[in-house]
Amino acid sequence: MKAKHFMFVLCAGLFVLSATAQQIDTSVVTRADAAADKGEGWVFYSYFTGESYGVEKTLTGMAVIQPGYEIHPPHVHADEEYLVITQGEGEWSVKGETFKASTGDMLYASPWDEHGVKNTGDEPLIFVVFKWHSKNNPVPPEPESTQSH
């Protein structure tokens, strides 16, 4: 699946899920029960998606990226996001700058700030992601500077 197509499908799917999903309840989702989306050199496991007590829409998951790959190139979106590398090494891309990414690093991306991660190491890079849009908080308008992405 091409990177831009994956991002469209992921974002569109999250929007549909948030509109139709029941509220997330306290529970555990095992990796075996998580929905798996596979692409060339990566797999993404979705754990909790939809609406929760304070969140209008959320996406939580874990990615396993093989050496030399990325799920998608650096991108922007209206949601806030945290990303934690739990294994491996790679390269962060944040607002057009690139620098080393290592196990234990955490990224926070504000709405519409460009960000991404690529595996440039010799072993799988694994990250956990928490992406959401809070209830009663209007979606920030997309700045003109990001509309070409």
Q: How far is CA 63 from the centre of its chain?
A: 9
- pLDDT tens sequence across 24-75: 999 999 999 999 999 999 999 999 999 888 888 999 999 999 999 999 999 9
- pLDDT tens sequence across 115-141: 999 999 999 999 999 999 888 888 888
DSSP string of 35-76?
EEEEETTEEEEEEEEEB-SSEEEEEEEEEEE-TT--SSSSB-
Q: Tell me the pTM.
A: 0.79
Comparing 68 with 21, which gets the higher pLDDT? Answer: 68
pLDDT at 19: 47
Give the contacts of 44 (CB within 8 A, at least 6 positions apart).
36, 37, 38, 61, 62, 63, 71
Q: How far is CA 7 from the centre of its chain?
A: 9
Q: Which amino acid is at 118?
A: K
Strand partners, 62: 45, 128
Cβ contact 48:24 at 8 Å: yes
- The average pLDDT across 99-110 equals 97
Comparing 5 with 68, which gets the higher pLDDT? Answer: 68
